[in-house]
Amino acid sequence: MLLIPCPYCGARTENEFAYGGEAHKVRPEHPEEVSDEAWADYLFLQKNTNGTYYERWVHAHGCRRWFNLVRDTLTNQVHGAYKIEEEPPKVDETTYV
């Protein structure tokens, strides 16, 4: 069970939250103008890192606000949460092979 530190509500158990996938993906400004490759990239392609991962979560059964989380996807260690408009905290990034 993850204990997720919602930046608005504090630490809560994972089943209060819903997952939003990779963070810091920027939606193309004009989707109708980008190539199919670029659109597929935005829509489907994932970093899917084995290690330190920046991801979006929403506190679905709480404040219902979106925020970002830095978590190690192998060990499940949570490095910290930050609001959408904030810069990610500095962490020692790890990638496992």
* Non-local CB neighbours of 20 within 8 Å, separated by 6+ positions: 55, 56, 57, 58, 66
Residues 46-65: x where in contact with other proteins by CB under 8 A, - otherwise, as a string: xxx-x--x-x-x--------
Phi, psi of 16 (to 5 degrees): -85, -10
The half-sphere exposure of 55 on its side-chain side, counting CA atoms within 13 A, is 23
Q: Is 40 in the site for other proteins (CB under 8 A)?
A: yes
- Please choose, from the candidates 23, 20, 4, the residue with its C-alpha nearest in 3D space to the C-alpha of residue 12: 4
Based on the shown chain and the rule CB under 8 A, indicate whether residue 18 belongs to the binding site for other proteins. Answer: yes
Can residue 36 be called a binding residue for other proteins (CB under 8 A)?
A: yes
Asked if 91 touches other proteins (CB under 8 A), the answer is: no
Q: Which residues of the chain form contacts with other proteins (CB under 8 A)?
A: 1-2, 14-15, 18-19, 21, 36-37, 40-41, 43-48, 50, 53, 55, 57, 73-76, 96-97
